[in-house]
Structure 1
Amino acid sequence: MTSTVQIPASAATVSTSTRSLLTCAAVAAPLWTVVSLAQAATREGFDLTRHPLSALSNGSLGWLQITNFLVAGVLTVAGASGLRRVLHGTPGGRWAPRLVRINGIGMIAAGVFVMDPADGFPIGTPYGMPEALTWHSYGHMAAGSVAFIALIAACYVLGRHFSRAGNRGHAIASRVAGTALLVGDGWAMSGGTAGSLSLAIGAITAMLWIAVVAVRYRRGL
């Protein structure tokens, strides 16, 4: 006589829902990165050593980057709910998802508020910074600051989470990712050479690490 263990339908539904939410978190960063870098490599006049990826929201094709911010932001917000479920009751399990969600909201806002054309991009824009910034450019900078600060903090909280769990490799990777964005953003804000490039590297590193974490927990379901 054999018996089978039946998983309650509600539990199976929750597991499927959580996997779907974590998929959102896993997809958000790679999608944003691929779309951004593809534009950076192909749009005339764009120079990643001088222009931040946010500048791609300007020009006739600016809608691509605006949409990129909005879609990635929504996916990140949804993915934060998945992280909240799998991290529940663990060190950092409350704040890491909250910070990831704030990061996603910041990305959405960065898509809504477009920075001003500057420094020769799009083609025909005078070189250098505008004499005066528009309200939506200030809004973009505020949104970006919130998104970056939240993402840096999320990486450090995840570092504590993995450290307490005894996963030294993931703890180090989390802190490296957060530091990469902290240094990249700081260098860009200070006006350092190729600051926009350092910011892009830092932001992409931290974003992709959140995606890696989401994939790790998704596989465990």
Structure 2
Amino acid sequence: MNTRPREGKTRVTRESTGPRIDQPPTSGSGTEGPLERLIRFHAEIREATASLTALLDAASRGAVERGTIDRGQAQRLREFFAGPILWHDEDEEVGLFPRLRRVELTDGERAVIEASSRGHDRMEELLEHLGPLLTAIAAGAGAGAELAAGAAEARALHTLLDGVMKLEEEALFPLAARRLSRADLEELAAEMDARHGDENARPRRAVEL
């Protein structure tokens, strides 16, 4: 089943209190370029991983058994990690990184790309364990030992992605801005628009949650 929230259908209006975790990366508007769009979505990821850590910490302390866990939040997080974050991953892995690998780079610059890509791989490994836990919590279930392990994995995911996003914001995206041509960036933006507008598409690196 395609669990991806669709733009213009399930998207919730963003409030001034901060970004919503149930939004996919949105199509560009005005003069915002593809790199700015990728950076903007990092705020969504940071909020989601912080919420995931708090939810699983509460679950590991007995909130599921007491019936005080926010099952709706568990479902929203499950949908986010099965959809929008993987589309963001694909925008980088399928769109941005191949374009960077085609231009002349130093060994250090190539190392930045590969470090980010390894972070994406590790993210998917963690999500393969965390996804079923979120499904169970959303249904009001979940065993104590599994929840304790899940809380540790959620903290690991938060730390991992915080490091990956800092690397991208401080090194990778500035590298792309320097080395990619206007045509490269326009093509990347068009690909992102097409990818996010396809009702039947699934992320290439899809994780079954």
TM-score relative to the length of structure 2: 0.42
State the structure with bigger RCO (CA 8 A, min sep 6), 1 or 2.
Answer: 2
Bigger Rg over Cα = 1
TM-score relative to the length of structure 1: 0.41
